[in-house]
Amino acid sequence: MSYHGPKVRLSRRFGIALTPKAAKVMERRSAPPGQHGKARKSESSDYKKQLDQKQLLRYQYNIRESQLRQYYEKAQHRRGNGAENLIQLLETRLDALVMRAGFAPTIYAARQIVSHQHILVNGEKVNAPSYGVQVGDVVSIKEKSRKLPLFQQLGRNEGAAYLEVNDKEYSASLIRQPQIADVPINCEVSRVIEFYSR
């Protein structure tokens, strides 16, 4: 199951804001949660650093451990750089593209929007957040859903270089495969690859 716990606590643990609310809280309380959050920590081992980066990547895409491992294995079977392949697989998930297109403020909201059948891919209803979008596919908001208050503030996110967003049509097209440099994630993907290749 994906993460359903307190997002602010998780954000403070890793030092990045996973939601707008977490960003506001972290302006006042940036230290890790807990009684000894401000205490200075000793140098982490390589394993701990790799584990933290793997967990950080998981939480930014709101996926289970088993899903991330499957994506890693798929990435390793593809030609090219393993880290680039992994990000491409994660970033072309339907829920991730819904968020990047500005249809949802967070990955958690994007997952719910997809699950509640507000999203179409090439005109067909898709309710699986893990659905893999292909280059050339058009992701759009169902016409009946467009009047919902949730969708009255399109373009809340900056968008992505690999997406062509049409606010008037409530749609976004995947025009090319994402590259790590294009994706606004806070993670050392190379350490994730190291973790799984041990």
Alpha carbon of residue 172 to chain centroid: 17
Q: Which sequence spans correspond to the domains of the chain?
A: 7-35+43-89+186-196, 98-176
Q: What is the mean pLDDT of residues 161-167?
A: 91
What is the C-alpha to C-alpha distance for residues 31 and 104, in angstroms, rounded to an integer?
Answer: 28
pLDDT tens-digit profile of 46-82? 898 899 889 889 988 999 999 999 999 999 999 989 9
Tokens for 135, please give them.
């280059």
Helix axes 7-14, 20-28, angle to 10 degrees: 60
CB within 8 A of 138, min separation 6: which ones?
A: 121, 122, 123, 171, 172, 173
Q: How far is CA 67 from CA 5, 144, 152, in A?
A: 19, 32, 32
Please give the CATH superfamily to which domain 7-35+43-89+186-196 belongs: Ribosomal protein S4/S9, N-terminal domain (1.10.1050.10)
Please report the pLDDT score of residue 13 as a whole number: 64
Nearest CA among 121, 128, 186, 135 for reference residue 163: 135
Residue 165: in which H helix or E strand, if any? strand 163-166
- Give the number of residues written for the chain: 198
155: confidence class by pLDDT, cuts 50, 70, 90: low
What is the C-alpha to C-alpha distance for residues 63 and 16, in angstroms, rounded to an integer?
Answer: 17
Please report the pLDDT score of residue 168 as a whole number: 87
Please report the pLDDT score of residue 68 as a whole number: 95
Q: What is the mean pLDDT of residues 87-101?
A: 95
What is the C-alpha to C-alpha distance for residues 165 and 193, in angstroms, rounded to an integer?
Answer: 31
Q: What is the mean pLDDT of residues 106-114?
A: 92
Q: Is the pLDDT of residue 22 over 70?
A: no
What is the C-alpha to C-alpha distance for residues 94 and 116, in angstroms, rounded to an integer?
Answer: 13
Please report the pLDDT score of residue 151 as a whole number: 83
The dihedral built from the CA positions of residue 72, 78, 83 and 84, taken in this order, carries a sign that is: negative
Same-fold call for 7-35+43-89+186-196 versus 98-176: no
What is the CATH architecture assignment of 98-176? Roll (3.10)
Please report the pLDDT score of residue 9 as a whole number: 66
